[in-house]
Amino acid sequence: MKRLTGLQKQVLALYGGFLRAARAKAPEERKKIEAIVSEEFHRNAKEVDRKNFIYIEYLLRRGAKQLHQLKSPNTISMFTVPVPSPPSKPLP
Amino acid sequence: MATISATSSIRFCSSLKLSSSTTLQVNGRTSTVKVTHAGWKSKSFPSLRCTGFRVSCSAKPETVQKVCEIVKKQLALPADSELTPDSKFAALGADSLDTVEIVMGLEEEFDINVEEDNSQNITTVQEAADLIEELISKKSGA
């Protein structure tokens, strides 16, 4: 594998964090959470322009917040609502 | 017929000088050979960390087997697909996100904790198995 950039490492660490946090949840919910998280990471990996650092950093911050919420024992499940797809290119 | 018994002792001095003395006994006649091998005269011992030294003991077959099964499950490969210890995850169609999934699956299966730095360097089944053995032995040793 090629050497990873700092940003890539952060993304992978965040993904690992989500998968670890999901282990603490009920088996049914865990499956759903893993499906949602996996879908979102893979979709963004495909759709987001790799040079769109601002947007990737925004996603990282948002992900970190969501992970923080997920880690709370009070959080038992996760839902998503479809949203219009964000711009994949940086705004001029 | 000559009976030969040899005893050798290896001593590590504080200056990391390695010396060994060998005693040979041949039919009652004793001759002592003193051999001084190499030594590190300088204070600085070559750091194992800097040289990228890694203890690579080949992992147990059952560990490799278990890793193969988990990799197959995570990548949704057909059960009869060929998977050798040298198979690269990338060649099996896995991107870096899939690799994280594999490592998380391994963590849970073997009840270990892989640090992010290590997990991102794993590219083959063999590497994963070696790392797992290392972590297991570290855990049982601690």
A18 part of contact set with chain B, CB < 8 Å: no
Mean pLDDT, residues A6-13:
93
Which residues in chain A have their CB less than 8 angstroms from residue B90's CB? Answer: 1
Domain of residue B97, CATH code: 1.10.1200.10
* Phi, then psi, of B118 in degrees rounded to 5: -70, -45
pLDDT classification of A9: cutoffs 50, 70, 90:
very high
Question: Helix axis angle, A27-47 relative to B96-110, nearest 10°?
Answer: 160
With respect to residue B49, please indicate whether it lies within any of the assigned structural domains.
no
Question: Domain range spanning residue A65?
Answer: 8-71
| Residue pLDDT, tens place only, B23-73 | 444 555 555 545 444 555 555 555 555 444 445 556 788 888 888 888 888
**Catalytic hit among B95, B98, B111, B130:** B95
Q: Is the ipTM of this complex over 0.90?
A: no
CB-based contact B116 A13, cutoff 8 Å = yes
| Structural domains of chain A, count | 1
Q: Which residues in chain A are closer than 8 Å to B121, comparing Cβ atoms?
A: 1
Give the three-class secondary structure for B29.
Answer: strand
User: What are B117's two structure tokens?
Assistant: 């730095």
- Residues B96 and B136 both lie in one domain: yes
Same domain, B75 and B124: yes
A58: in domain: yes
pLDDT in tens, A13-66: 999 999 999 999 999 999 999 999 999 999 999 999 999 999 999 999 999 999
The verdict on B31 and B87 lying in the same domain is: no
Residues B124, B70 share a domain: yes
pLDDT for A87: 64
- B116/A16 touch (CB, cutoff 8 Å), yes or no: yes
B104 touches chain A (CB under 8 A): yes
Query: Which pLDDT band, with edges at 50, 70 and 90, does A88 fall under?
Result: low
Cα–Cα nearest to B44, from B84, B68, B15, B75: B15
- Closest by Cα among A60, A19, A11 to B103: A19
Q: Which tens digit of pLDDT belongs to each residue from B69-120? A: 888 888 888 777 777 888 888 888 888 899 999 999 999 988 888 887 778 7
**Does residue B97 belong to the interface with chain A, where contact is any CB pair within 8 Å?**
yes
Q: Tell me what the mean pLDDT of segment A78-89 comes to.
A: 72
Q: Which residues of A touch B95 (CB under 8 A)?
A: 45
For residues B77 and B115, state if they share a domain: yes
Using CA atoms, how far apart are residues B101 and B120, in angstroms rounded to an integer? 11
Q: Is residue B95 part of a domain?
A: yes
Number of domains in chain B: 2
Residue scoring higher pLDDT (A54 or B127): A54
CB of A12 within 8 Å of any CB in chain B?
yes
Type of residue numbered B19: S
Q: Is residue A29 part of a domain?
A: yes
Of A12, A41, A45, the CB nearest to B120: A12
From B46's Cα to the closest Cα of chain A, the distance in A is 26
Q: Which domain holds residue B12?
A: 4-39
- Determine the pLDDT at residue B43: 54
Give the pLDDT confidence score for residue A11 in this predicted structure.
95
Q: Within this chain, do residues B82 and B128 fall inside the same structural domain, yes or no?
A: yes
Residue A63: inside a domain, yes or no? yes
Between A and B, how many residue pairs show a Cβ–Cβ distance under 8 A? Answer: 39
Interface contact A42, partner B, CB < 8 A: yes
Task: Identify whether B80 is a catalytic site residue.
Answer: no
Q: What's the pLDDT at B9? A: 43
